[in-house]
Amino acid sequence: MSTAEQIRSEIPTAEDGERLSGLILELQTKGLRITTEFERRPGGAGPSDAGMIWVEGQPLTVPVDSDFVTDTPFSLEAEDVGFGIYRDGTRVASAAPADRPKYYSMNTADGTPYWQIALMHLDSLASTVLQTCAYWGNDDQCKFCGIGVSLDSGNTVKVKRPEHLAEVAVAAKELDGAVDVTLTTGSTYGKDRGALYVGKCGKAVKEASGLPVEVQFEPPEDFSVIDKVADMGIDSLGIHVETFDPEVLAHIAPPKARTGIERYFAAWEYAVKRFGEGQVTTYVIVGMGEDPELTIEGCKRAIDIGVYPFIVPLRPVPGSLMADVVPPPADYTERIARQVAPYLIERGITADKVAAGCARCQACSPLGAIEQSMKLSASGKKLIPVKSL
């Protein structure tokens, strides 16, 4: 039985939730030393430099290969039964590294390994359907991005075909308990920015596997493209602004800055009408020099129109233009997340209601764990562990 099929415990008490969300923040900031076999994602497009692990039932991708990890106080240690997270030699949590997916040993009819088409991120299947980007390798390259690093490594193929993605999705569901699919793409010069192709791939995956699907793309020139993607049966949509600070956006993602933050809000508002509240998401990367107050204000404005702002601390991608940057301090990310989480709860737009995608998974963010601990604190209840669906 795969880890994804085993019991995934809910946080049992508000106190435990506070402890666990704090630990997740620290691990995402400081990384984890590993001393045992471990399913990992070295470099490339996100989640990059990622160890795949369950910490007391909560999903987590954690830095394991970046240079700054050599200074982390945290390590993963094998125990008589299972594994534990240790801080300076003291056990702080139980852990379960993700199993190597069974479907990784399979190939398509033309000999392409399944793992070069889509990867398992804990219990979520994910793929970059076009592993090239119009902005890569020129002055427009997003500084945090590693899409070209993945391609150069030989660990993926340039273009994933819809029928291959569908084939892999069925295997990942049946053999490894995948519960949803996330499909993203490098941007194209076309007016749709690649949206129609990633939507076509998502449609093939959903029809073959029945799994909920999120697709991700930039705001298209014509918002009717969003209608076309919705009509393909896609469940959730990611349109990622990355930061609400216009000065930082201009520095780290020039093409997105030219699009303009207001254009993102217009695209989200249009998309929410088709996909519904809480099914449209945006990445919000913190730790790139942004104004935290602008960030919180932008998140709340997005929530007001029904968008889930997926807050993640910067995870420097080896080989990217920000490879030498370190993640922000845990308390910085926590300050922002703790002001956004209650707003999400108040509006009823929480991670547990997202059908598919990064915001559903939450392994790269502390936000979902903070939401859970806040809801438990308000209710005073203790939850019974449940199985992951």
What's the pLDDT band for 10 if we cut at 50, 70, 90? Answer: very low
pTM, two decimal places: 0.90
Strands (DSSP E) contained in 64-172 are 74-78, 83-87, 90-97, 119-121, 124-128
Residue 107 DSSP label = B
Percentage of residues in the chain with pLDDT exceeding 70?
90
Is residue 268 classed as helix, strand or coil in its secondary structure? helix
Residue 18 Cα to chain centre, angstroms: 22
Average pLDDT over residues 349-364: 95
Whether residue 95 has pLDDT greater than 70: yes
| Report for 21-30, 45-54, 203-212: range of highest mean pLDDT | 203-212
Q: Helix count (H) and strand count (E) of the chain?
A: 12, 16
Stated as kind and residue range, the H or E segment containing 205 is: helix 195-209
Cα–Cα distance measured from residue 386 to residue 8, given in angstroms and rounded to the nearest whole number? 6
Mean pLDDT of the chain: 89
Query: Which among 299, 271, 280 is positioned nearest to 357, based on CA atoms?
Result: 280
Does residue 49 surpass a pLDDT of 80? no
pLDDT at 326 over 60: yes
pLDDT value of position 43: 55
The answer to whether the peptide bond before residue 47 is cis (omega within 30 degrees of 0) is yes
Q: Place 7 in a pLDDT band, splitting at 50, 70 and 90.
A: very low
Q: How confident is the model at residue 69 (pLDDT cuts 50, 70, 90)?
A: confident
Kindly provide the residue ranges of all beta strands, DSSP E only, lying in the chain, ordered along the sequence.
7-8, 33-34, 40-41, 50-55, 58-63, 74-78, 83-87, 90-97, 119-121, 124-128, 180-184, 213-216, 236-238, 280-286, 307-313, 386-387
Q: What is the pLDDT of residue 370?
A: 92
Q: Between residues 256 and 58, which one has the greater pLDDT?
A: 256
CA distances from 13 to 100, 178, 377 (A): 31, 27, 8
Look at residue 180 and give its three-state secondary structure: strand
- The tens digit of pLDDT for each residue in 242-272 reads 999 999 999 999 999 999 999 999 999 999 9
pLDDT band of residue 274 (cuts 50, 70, 90) is very high
**Mean of pLDDT values over 220-241:** 98
Q: What is the Cα–Cα distance from 133 to 248, expressed in whole angstroms? A: 21
Task: Give the pLDDT band (50/70/90) at residue 12.
Answer: low
pLDDT value of position 384: 38
The residue-averaged pLDDT of 303-329 equals 92
CA dist., res. 188 & res. 192, Å (int): 8
How many other C-beta atoms lie within 10 A of the C-beta of residue 89? Answer: 8
SS (H, E, C) 2-37: CHHHCEECCCCCHHHHHHHHHHHHHHHHHCCEECCC
Mean pLDDT of 284-294: 97
Which residues, other chains included, contact 388 with Cβ-Cβ below 8 Å and sequence gap of 6+? 4, 5, 6, 7, 8, 123, 177, 179
> Is residue 381 pLDDT above 90, yes or no?
no
Mean pLDDT (whole number) for 334-339:
96
- Highest average pLDDT, of 12-16, 43-47, 84-88, comes from 84-88
Domains and CATH numbers, the chain: 3-97 (no CATH), 102-380 (3.20.20.70)
* pLDDT tens per residue, range 291-306: 999 999 999 999 999 9
In this structure, the number of other CB atoms found within 10 A of the CB of residue 35 comes to: 10
* 41 beta partners: 50
The answer to whether 206 and 120 have CB atoms below 8 angstroms apart is no
Length of the chain: 389
Q: Which pLDDT value is given to residue 150? A: 78
Predicted pLDDT of residue 40: 60
Distance CA 5, CA 177 (A): 6
Cα 212 from Cα 98, distance rounded (Å) = 21
Nearest to 74 by CA among 61, 66, 82, 64: 64
Residue-wise pLDDT tens digits, 360-370: 999 999 999 89
pLDDT of residue 67: 80
Q: pLDDT tens for residues 166-206? A: 999 999 999 999 999 999 999 999 999 999 999 999 999 99
